[in-house]
Amino acid sequence: MDKQRAVEIMNSPEKIEVHYQGQPVWIEGIEEDTANVTVMGTCRTMNVPFADLKEI
């Protein structure tokens, strides 16, 4: 995924499924080269490269 698409998903009123390493995540924020995500169902947050995010 690229940065622009991550921003679109984060700002979308619809729920768009995104995975990081096979786990569903919620995009919380955008930084210069990474997205801040939370793994669904956990309190685990991390910064990950946009290229590692997959839209399902």
Walk me through the domains of the chain, giving residue ranges and CATH numbers.
Answer: 3-55 (2.30.30)
For residue 44 the two structure tokens come to 């685990």
Q: Mean per-residue pLDDT for 14-24? A: 97
For residue 22, name the pLDDT band (cuts at 50, 70, 90): very high
Instruction: Give the model's pLDDT for residue 25.
Output: 98
Average pLDDT value for the chain? 97
DSSP secondary structure code for residue 22 in this structure: T
Spatial separation of the C-alpha atoms in residues 44 and 2, rounded to whole Å = 22
Spatial separation of the C-alpha atoms in residues 33 and 7, rounded to whole Å = 12
SS3 call for 3: helix
